[in-house]
Chain A
Amino acid sequence: MSFLHLWPIYVGVGAAALPLAVHWLTRPRPARLPISTLRFVREVVNQRRARNRLRDFLVLLARTAAILLLAAAIARPIGGERALAERESAGSTSRVILLDVSQSMAAGSHGVQNFERARSRAAEYLAYRPGLRANLIQAGAGARGVFDSPSVNLSALHNELAASRVRPERLNLNAAISAAAAELAGTPADARRELVVVSDFQRSNWTGVDFSALPEDTHIEMESVALADAADNLAVLRVGCQGRAVAGQEVRLEVEVGNFSPNARPVEVEVTLGDSAYRLQGPCPAQSTTTLSQEIVLQSVGWQSGEARLVGVEDQLAADNVRSWVLEVRPPPTYALVTRQAPNEAGSSFYVERALAPVLRPDQPRQIRVVRLLPSAMDDESLAGAELIVLDRPGKLGAEALRRLSNLLRRGRALLYFAAEPVDAVNLQGLGDAAGTNLQMPVRFAPPTVGHARRNLFLASMRSDQSPFTVFGDELASAVGSLRFAGGLTSQRQDGALAEDLLASYSDQSAAIVITASGAGTLAVWNVDLEKSNLASSPAFVPLVGELTERLLGRARIRAAVFSGEPLATYLSPEAGSRAELTLSGPPGVSPAAIGELVDERLGVLWRTPHVGPPGIYKALRGGTTQFAVASEIPPEESDLRPLAPGLLKGRLSGGRPIHFHQDAPGTEEGGDWWTWLVVGCVACLLVELVLLRGSRA
């Protein structure tokens, strides 16, 4: 056991003699009195002496114990084993202090942030002593050391520690451990290596910690500043719309709220977007997340920004009660259908065109426009406005067309290929070659062998939990059971590809539907000859096509949110055009480096920055009009304030290394309740004394 403060111990030991001194100094001076009955007095005194001596001893003991207990309580005992990183140890020592500056450290109670306590704890380890070399690493999304290696300039570390602040970032623990390991590895062999980690030890961050990078003889000291009481935090974890936001169409606004408190709570979220405001309400179970949703209709087209804010919430971490978000509201989509077939020809493209833009009600015009293109007429200009490129019986595509399709795919376009003819296998092979390593399809399509007709096939296996099959729910078997397929291509599994990309297979083990990501876009291949199969005439055709296109377009959405402090590298949407006249802007007060820069690349305009700035909206503007926007956010895992169990950290995650864990939150350190019990013991001693004195008088 050790004590937080030592001076009360010294004072207490000195004061322990106080009862004796007081007793000696204040003892009554007896008056001399001759008496003839001294033997009676002596008899009586002897009779009571045994009891009185015991009483006096107990009273003295109680008084002394009361003083010592009070001194010990003031000294704040700290139980548990001795710290591995001895602050008073002599000799050469290299000490790296890893200070958690992630967003969760801003949590606190009673107006005191965890980070403030962490700062004071870290400062104790920077106290001067001969032979001590130290460095301070501020661990957030990145690891920022004050020096390149441990230094004796402790005053500079103190200044840096005083200037450190919580950053709206997540803790990249492995990067911090690696940085600390590199510094400790460079220290002299005879020096004692110490790693002091001052953190709140969030469960979400520390579960995957790996100390293997540290030198074997490193002494690890864990200083936890996690709050003692149960974490009580509500947070807006995600804001967005399900699917594409199309002007004039209903879209589902979704807000994911996390309740990291021990009690279920009703939550109310106010969401703003542009000039509109929405209010979502609902219950949120304890220790879980819930998604609040509302159907909204957005009228104006373009990038819009806003924020979601929890209403009437006061919790331990206020920063995550607000989350900025951006949304691109697009005009009704346009699909490009590339086919050799004539528009009025009753071929497969006829069915595809109508499945892509179905007529929901006879009195309503189609909201999706399908532009038919001949493969020869396929150029950048004709494809620029198409969000989805559908190829059905395109015939043999040239290398230029395949490269164009590959580039569009990489930049985020969605591609749906109905493979029906043998030449489609050549086109897919050429597309794969053009995309290079960016496109790794799970199967390789090939023309059917001669004499081996593909017919009377049916869907043998499907990923029923994924789109597009989820549209049928429990009716999937009956919906697709009557489908019979013929024609198409054979397929062969490719090694090293993702098997999950194969969504459905036919009864002859050939692939039916394959979806593969390539760059920012997605390629879907539907191996079916609509003219020889009964799929086109089936009621399942339109829903399957609709779901598949939704999935492709959803995947093709450009990432509209990034996490603060982390690298950003995203291509602007093709509609943003070239870099010329594009300017970047961010929240007020953010440095240009945090906003980043635009770079022209072969695939488009790249927006990049090594560290995204604080939460807010970052925009690419041209002439005052937003061409592209991203929202910098606090990582959702920072909202879960539950700490990792010390036993887990010291046991399973330590990898056999000696780790000392110390919790600094008031009342939570090992033996943290001892001071309370010491005070109780002090009061008990005083009560015992009173009882003894009162009993002796009775």
Chain B
Amino acid sequence: MPATSQSPFLDVRAVAALAHMRFTTRKRIEGAYSGRHPSRQQGGAGEFVDYREYTEGEDLRRLDWKVLARSGRAYIRLYQDQTNLLCTLALDASASMLMGAGAARGGRKAIGSKLEYVQFLATALAQIIVDGQDQVGLALLGERLADWLPPAGTASHLARLHDTIERLQPSPTTRMAESLRELFTRVSRRGVLVVVSDFLMDDWEACFAALRLFRQRQWEVVTLHVVHRDEERLPEGTAFRFEGLEREGSIDCSPAEIRELYAARFAAHAAAVRTLALATGCDYRRADVASGYLQVVRSLLVPRFG
């Protein structure tokens, strides 16, 4: 499928290098069309995988009459359906995503920021998913569910998705848990939810409560915890006036006095996010901005054989 997207965040060469890999899941999924992923449904189509003793009420069309005739015992033929993947990219559009090495003033996109990192990552991931004949959707989580593109696999959809990612504007305030709940009400089919966030919102624990809803509906949830290097440790310097990105005010302090304590506090937060994610049944991956987005994308893909 020719790429029609002109997104500056799409590195075609880098994505092409990952063409032999595909985005997959550990569990069977529920897709809209026939695809390459094992479906949760084991109907009459697809590849034969096994027999199972017939129980009353089952579809008689799947009864193996020949075996019944030879042995007098009723068995059902089981076939593994192949379906496509429905993946929804839920991107954190909070202002905290502007955290980066460069200046982030006046709402202008910052170079090297977490937001840019997420844009590159989401664009590449969406491209790879669509290239794998799967469908990808997009949800922008801000003050509310800012934008919602249901999963689709067409080139126009991908172009629109790329365009949406490119024009992504951070929201000054974020209510991510509410946004996820809203998303939950909108999705109809189970699939894969990839949540890309720095989890630096006040209601980050409520977010996982919302994600628990998805898990309860057998969604596979992947949490990508975006971490910037400057968040892990405070910069060197005598005194700074730290200004919050989400209208939190400012505070003057000397980093030297709190550096150790701060680092421990952030590490505790990251560990708490990981623990809660795993406890919720989510796949947790840490995405360091400094390590490059392709590495994270690669960790989500598996080699495609045949």
Is A311 at the interface (CB under 8 A from chain B)?
no
CA distance A41 to B263 in the complex (A): 10
Within A8-47, the residues touching B (CB, 8 Å) are: 27-45, 47
- A36-B98, A41-B258 are contacts. A31–B265 as well, Cβ < 8 Å? no
Is A470 at the interface (CB under 8 A from chain B)?
no
CB distance from A44 to the nearest CB of B (A): 4
Is B269 at the interface (CB under 8 A from chain A)?
yes
CB distance from B246 to the nearest CB of A (A): 8
Is A52 at the interface (CB under 8 A from chain B)?
yes
B87-104: CB near A (< 8 Å → 1, else 0) gives: 000000001111100011
Verify B237–A31 contact, CB threshold 8 A. yes
Is A559 at the interface (CB under 8 A from chain B)?
no
Stretch at the interface among B23-31, B131-139, B248-256, B297-305: B248-256
CA distance A696 to B254 in the complex (A): 12
Verify A35–B266 contact, CB threshold 8 A. no
- A40-B269, A41-B251 are contacts. A35–B244 as well, Cβ < 8 Å? yes
Verify A37–B251 contact, CB threshold 8 A. no
Contacts of B95 in A (CB 8 A): 36
- A31-B241, A48-B257 are contacts. A42–B104 as well, Cβ < 8 Å? no
Contacts of A36 in B (CB 8 A): 95-99, 114, 198, 200, 228, 231, 244-246
Is B243 at the interface (CB under 8 A from chain A)?
yes
Contacts of A27 in B (CB 8 A): 239
CB distance from B10 to the nearest CB of A (A): 26
Verify A44–B98 contact, CB threshold 8 A. no
Verify A33–B98 contact, CB threshold 8 A. no
Within B218-252, the residues touching A (CB, 8 Å) are: 228, 230-231, 234-235, 237-246, 248-252
Contacts of A52 in B (CB 8 A): 257
Verify A37–B266 contact, CB threshold 8 A. yes
Contacts of A697 in B (CB 8 A): 256
Contacts of A29 in B (CB 8 A): 239
Is B261 at the interface (CB under 8 A from chain A)?
yes
CB distance from B123 to the nearest CB of A (A): 22
CA distance A368 to B244 in the complex (A): 124
A530-542: CB near B (< 8 Å → 1, else 0) gives: 0000000000000
Chain B residues touching A, range? 35 or more
Within A49-97, the residues touching B (CB, 8 Å) are: 52
Residue of A with least CB distance to B103: A34
Chain A interface SS verdict (over half): helix
User: Quick one: which of A38, A43, A47 has the most chain B CB within 10 A?
Assistant: A38
Residue of B with least CB distance to A35: B242
Is B262 at the interface (CB under 8 A from chain A)?
yes
Contacts of B254 in A (CB 8 A): 28
Verify A34–B245 contact, CB threshold 8 A. yes
Verify A44–B248 contact, CB threshold 8 A. no
CA distance A311 to B95 in the complex (A): 97
CA distance A513 to B17 in the complex (A): 148
Q: Which of B105, B114, B248 contacts A38 (CB 8 A)?
A: B248
CB distance from B97 to the nearest CB of A (A): 8
CB distance from A38 to the nearest CB of B (A): 4
CA distance A40 to B259 in the complex (A): 11
Residue of B with least CB distance to A52: B257
Contacts of A41 in B (CB 8 A): 234, 242, 251, 253, 258, 262
Contacts of A31 in B (CB 8 A): 237, 239-241
Verify B266–A40 contact, CB threshold 8 A. yes
Residue of A with least CB distance to B264: A44
Contacts of A47 in B (CB 8 A): 261
Verify B269–A28 contact, CB threshold 8 A. no
CA distance A40 to B262 in the complex (A): 7
Verify B243–A38 contact, CB threshold 8 A. yes
Q: Which of B104, B251, B252 contacts A34 (CB 8 A)?
A: B104
Q: Which of A32, A34, A37 contacts B200 (CB 8 A)?
A: A37
Contacts of A35 in B (CB 8 A): 99, 230-231, 242-245
- A44-B261, A45-B251 are contacts. A33–B239 as well, Cβ < 8 Å? no
CA distance A37 to B249 in the complex (A): 12
CB distance from A257 to the nearest CB of B (A): 73
User: Quick one: which of B95, B235, B265 has the most chain A CB within 10 A?
Assistant: B265
Residue of B with least CB distance to A32: B241
CA distance A44 to B248 in the complex (A): 15
B194-209: CB near A (< 8 Å → 1, else 0) gives: 0000101010000000
Contacts of B249 in A (CB 8 A): 38
Within B21-79, the residues touching A (CB, 8 Å) are: none
- A44-B258, A44-B261, A48-B257 are contacts. A34–B239 as well, Cβ < 8 Å? no
CA distance A44 to B105 in the complex (A): 26
Verify B241–A33 contact, CB threshold 8 A. yes
CB distance from A641 to the nearest CB of B (A): 62
- A40-B266, A44-B262 are contacts. A33–B257 as well, Cβ < 8 Å? no
CA distance A33 to B102 in the complex (A): 10
Verify A43–B251 contact, CB threshold 8 A. no
- A37-B231, A40-B266, A44-B265 are contacts. A30–B239 as well, Cβ < 8 Å? yes
CB distance from A437 to the nearest CB of B (A): 100
A408-435: CB near B (< 8 Å → 1, else 0) gives: 0000000000000000000000000000
CB distance from B271 to the nearest CB of A (A): 13
Please provide the 4 A-B residue pairs with the shortest distance between their CB atoms, ordered closest to farther: A38-B244, A36-B96, A28-B239, A36-B99
Can you name 7 A-B residue pairings with CB atoms under 8 Å? A31-B240, A34-B99, A35-B244, A37-B262, A40-B262, A40-B266, A41-B234
What is A's interface to B at a CB cutoff of 8 Å? Answer: 27-45, 47-48, 52, 696-697
Name 8 extra pairs, CB < 8 A, besides A35-B242, A36-B99.
A31-B241, A33-B240, A36-B244, A37-B99, A38-B244, A40-B262, A41-B262, A48-B258
